Amino acid sequence: MSQKPSIPKGTRDFGQKEMAARNYIFDTVRSVFKSYGYAQIETPAMENLSTLLGKYGEEGDKLLYRILNSGDAFAGVDFDKPLAAQVCEKGLRYDLTVPFARFVVQHQGEISFPFKRFQIQPVWRADRPQKGRYREFYQCDVDAIGSRSQLCELELVQIVEKVFSLLDVRVCMHINNRKVLTGLAEVCGCPDKVVDITVAIDKLDKIGLEAVGEELRGKGLTEEALDVLRPVLLLSGPFEEKLAVMRKLMAPSAEGCRGLDELEELFGYIRSAGVQMPCELDLSLARGLNYYTGAIFEVKALDWQIGSICGGGRYDNLTGIFGLPDMSGVGVSFGADRIYDVLVGLEKFPAGLSSGADLLFANMGRDEVAYVLPVAAALRSEGIAVEVYPDSSKLKKQFDYCERKGIGFLSICGADELASGNIQIKNLASGEQKSFAKADVAGMVAFMR
């Protein structure tokens, strides 16, 4: 007995309904990116492991999918040495930002800076599948590289606001700065523990404050250090009040003060630009990726529990790893799969997305099909999606096909229509039916729009 087919956990099939909905997201995001002057690129699904390793922190490296070398990968292997490094030279990309940095360095002679690009491609992580967390998922990344101006950060805030406004999803953008976290480690008396603090704080929403404290104790933080850290993570109130508290706390740290200066500048831009989307200074926001150096962002839906649906930040040193120093960039990534889940949960997808066609010509026989084929071609040239049913089946079967696919208009042309030179079109939603001269393509288009 053959085994029932299946797919790996953490991956999903998408049928025509799901693809129509996903393309609605991709098209919306793409249109906003383009409206701000960003151009699309693509990079390979696989990268050299030397490109990927060491960019995401120790935990991120563990989630990389490694690809076994082609051919006899184990020929000549020394089993007394680490095996993975000998048999795997490539890996599936973990995100789109590191491949983008590699792309910038490799193609720097062809690029005009500042370089504004977007990518809409899948990424892979060997994570534990759970609600809202997949092993294969799409990211929609938008980045500007080659400028340190925080006007770039503002532009990303505006892009996020516009995308979710078009998708009709209420969101809040959480903002922090990695320099503030570095300063926090310094005032805690643990300047060498900034990565440990960042990694632990990044889990705050998932495991809670007490568990974060336990993890940090395990990393060597004292109770005195935790006493400094704990009230910062719990700090609430408007931006100005939080900033005033942090100014006093960060006075001994030049790096922390620079981070607060950057936050004050960015929030000033946000006010000046008239951004209506809620933007909150979230001092517990850490973003676990090691390459962030300045502003960091996360976006959460206000009406649906799923975690972050968009995130990103400023990185100053990423291209330097590949041989191009002093090339600062900033970007955000829209998690298409989580956004899809939010739109499904909130029932925000427009009606009629799943139909592949606007109009179906019923198949009434060979002569009738020959009669409607040129009309179908003319309508397609006017932007109407048209199907001609392939088989001369019973009309009920063809009606059912229309209904299952969500096709809004049906044309049944039989002997009478051939004799009169007309085309009958029926609106299946309203029941309205009209007859058009075969040459009146403009009239048919107007009726269906």
The percent of the chain in helix, strand and coil, each rounded to the nearest 5, is: 45, 20, 35
- pLDDT given at position 96: 94
Quickly state the pLDDT bin for 348 (edges 50, 70, 90): very high
Instruction: For residue 357, give the nearest of 383, 391, 331 by alpha carbon.
Output: 383
As a CATH number, domain 16-345 is 3.30.930.10
Q: What does the DSSP 8-state code read for residue 55? A: S
State the average pLDDT over residues 60-83. 81
DSSP letter for each residue of 355-367: -S-SEEE----HH
Instruction: For residue 32, give the nearest of 192, 140, 163, 200 by alpha carbon.
Output: 163
For 410, the enclosing helix (H) or strand (E) is strand 409-411
State the average pLDDT over residues 315-340. 92
- For residue 183 the two structure tokens come to 């300063």
- pLDDT given at position 404: 87
For 446, the enclosing helix (H) or strand (E) is helix 441-448
State the average pLDDT over residues 327-346. 94
The SS3 of residue 326 is: coil
CATH topology classification for 359-448:
Rossmann fold (3.40.50)
Strand partners, 435: 424
Q: Report whether 158 contacts 144 (CB < 8 A).
A: no
Q: Which range, of 79-93, 230-244, 303-317, averages the lowest pLDDT?
A: 79-93
Task: Return the CA Rg of the chain.
Answer: 28
- For residue 439 the two structure tokens come to 């040459």
- pLDDT given at position 129: 85
pLDDT digit string, tens, across residues 43-52: 999 999 999 9
Domain boundaries along the sequence of the chain: 16-345, 359-448
- pLDDT given at position 229: 86
Distance CA 232, CA 216 (A): 15
Q: Report whether 127 contacts 133 (CB < 8 A).
A: yes
pTM, rounded to two decimals: 0.85
Quickly state the pLDDT bin for 1 (edges 50, 70, 90): low
Q: How far apart are the first and last CA of the chain?
A: 52
Distance CA 257, CA 199 (A): 22
For 27, the enclosing helix (H) or strand (E) is helix 16-35
- For residue 40 the two structure tokens come to 């699309």
Instruction: For residue 357, give the nearest of 409, 423, 429, 392 by alpha carbon.
Output: 409
Average pLDDT, the chain: 91
**What is the number of other CB atoms lying within 10 angstroms of the CB of residue 247?**
14
Distance CA 410, CA 436 (A): 13
Distance CA 84, CA 90 (A): 10
Distance CA 327, CA 213 (A): 36
Phi, psi torsion values for 219, nearest 5 degrees: -90, 0
Distance CA 419, CA 59 (A): 73
In Å, how far are 117, 176, 259, 265 from 262, measured between CA atoms? 24, 10, 5, 5
pLDDT digit string, tens, across residues 143-187: 999 999 999 999 999 999 999 999 999 999 999 999 999 998 898
